């Protein structure tokens, strides 16, 4: 059973982390790939909040589709973070693999559990 309300809480945490970065480092720190990464993180948070809590968009699109798209965007944000680290193979490979795993889970949510069973949805 998938409790989509918890994804709404996750989205709130992602939005809070994005806001904390902007408040802590200022808008001057938002340049290049860091801005792309934070934009993707905020979009993932918005998608999870929209999928987790009752609203007209969730009624029209579906909770799991919104959450799945949020997971895909979160995975993309993790993959972008691999481009912002220093030298070395491991700091670049680990975020890409982690982001790929999260994105594949999101693709499964968008595809209504085609690849592995999602179970029931509790709203």
Per-residue model confidence (pLDDT) at position 118: 67
Reported confidence tier of residue 84, pLDDT bands at 50, 70, 90: confident
DSSP 3-state of 3: strand
Per-residue model confidence (pLDDT) at position 119: 66
Give residue limits of the domains in the chain.
2-122
CA distances from 23 to 37, 43, 46, 76, 77 (A): 16, 18, 18, 23, 20
Residue 109 has pLDDT above 80, yes or no: yes
**Cα–Cα distance between 74 and 101 in angstroms, integer?**
10
Residue 30 has pLDDT above 90, yes or no: no
CA atoms within 13 A on the CB side of 91: 7
Looking at per-residue pLDDT, the higher value among 57 and 118 belongs to 57
Rounded mean pLDDT, 9-20? 97
């Amino acid at each position: 059973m998938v409790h989509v309300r918890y994804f709404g809480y996750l989205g709130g945490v992602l939005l809070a982390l994005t806001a904390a970065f902007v408040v802590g480092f200022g808008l001057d720190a938002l340049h290049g790939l860091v801005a792309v990464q934070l934009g993707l993180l905020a979009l993932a948070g918005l998608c999870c909040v929209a999928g987790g809590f009752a609203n007209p968009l969730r009624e029209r699109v579906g909770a799991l589709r919104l959450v799945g798209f949020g997971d895909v965007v979160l995975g993309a944000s993790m993959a972008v973070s691999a481009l912002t680290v220093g030298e070395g193979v491991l700091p670049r490979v680990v975020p890409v693999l982690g982001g790929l795993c999260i994105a594949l889970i999101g693709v499964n949510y968008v595809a209504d559990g085609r690849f592995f069973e999602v179970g029931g949805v509790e709203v």
